[in-house]
Amino acid sequence: MNKINDIFKDKNLKLTPQRYAIYKFLKSVKTHPSAEMIYNELKQDYPTMSLATVYKTLKTLIELNLVQELNVGEDNFRYDANVDIHPHIICLNCGKVDDIENTNFDNLKKDVLSYTDYDVLSYKLYFYGICSECKKGR
Amino acid sequence: MNKINDIFKDKNLKLTPQRYAIYKFLKSVKTHPSAEMIYNELKQDYPTMSLATVYKTLKTLIELNLVQELNVGEDNFRYDANVDIHPHIICLNCGKVDDIENTNFDNLKKDVLSYTDYDVLSYKLYFYGICSECKKGR
DNA sequence: CTGTGTGCAAAGCATTTGCAAAATA
DNA sequence: TATTTTGCAAATGCTTTGCACACAG
């Protein structure tokens, strides 16, 4: 995790323990947590950290393109330290957010370019369904 | 617009002038307005209507599958009376939300099915870029 | 040392809710 | 007439902000 160190130095930002912990946690996890979830998790190791710091740090990390924000359709945002464009799938039953991996939608952007007069810069794909655990439990 | 009349009758819901106006307005417009935008627009013809009624009506229309909610990544929701699954494109400069028409992403859902163990029920596609008006104005 | 970041509490905003009055079927 | 819906205001919940103190560089 040297990358973040250099990026922060580059921008004359301070890499505080809180910032490092939030990024490291997001990197280590595939659950796409909300700010509140991150806060509750890190409270154990950083009991004095406030929710406001989590929000401020997330905003900073997004500006540095180290984290992306997901809008799955809940009342809050989810965060993902994998900033590559990749689709997500949300369980309509338990609310879990998963990556869809190994897919290749590179051609999608090209397709869209031919249907619109926008300059297309990026995209977000959200799929909705029922996860395997929720399917079992019925 | 007989459809809405029958659907409301079916569910023993009352088709009030406010509800009808909100649906008719959404049907007539391609701008994917927010609740506030709808409210401001209809205030002219329905000066006593409240924002709360707009929200309540939108919720009802969504439950009836007459309207879909869009999560373009702003701090509020947008609404679309075209409930067919279709991609949207958002101008990062002016915030405009457009439909992408004539596209066919039917195969997309099938692709995803092969990459996930979810039952895939629906999906939302959001593209981001710069619209032609904003491109000109530079 | 100096300026940036943290933590707290308060503020902001979109959305929801409770309830009495009004309107629909 | 019996419910449902409206409109108002207050409440809610997520996120942001202001500010004094603490801390990283």
Q: Which nucleotide is nearest to A9 (CA to C1')?
A: D25
Question: Per-residue confidence at A67, pLDDT binned at 50, 70, 90?
Answer: very high
Phi-psi group of B73: left, alpha or beta (phi > 0 → left; psi -120 to 50 → alpha; rest → beta): left
Show the domains of chain B with their CATH numbers.
1-82 (1.10.10.10), 84-138 (3.30.1490.190)
| Minimum CA–CA partner of A136 in chain B | B118
Note the pTM of the prediction, 2 decimals: 0.92
Mean pLDDT of B90-111: 86
Q: What is the mean pLDDT of residues A115-136?
A: 93
pLDDT category at B138 given cuts 50, 70, 90 is: low
Q: Which nucleotide is nearest to B36 (CA to C1')?
A: C14
CA distance A38 to B64: 36
pLDDT bracket for residue A71 (50, 70, 90):
very high
Tens digit of each residue's pLDDT (9 = 90 or more) over B53-66: 999 999 999 999 99
Touching check for A110 and chain B: CB below 8 Å?
no
B74 band by pLDDT with thresholds 50, 70 and 90: confident
Task: Name the least confident of A1-15, A42-56, A71-85.
Answer: A1-15
Residue–nucleotide distance: A56 CA to D17 C1' (Å): 11
B125 contact residues in A (CB cutoff 8 A): 123-126
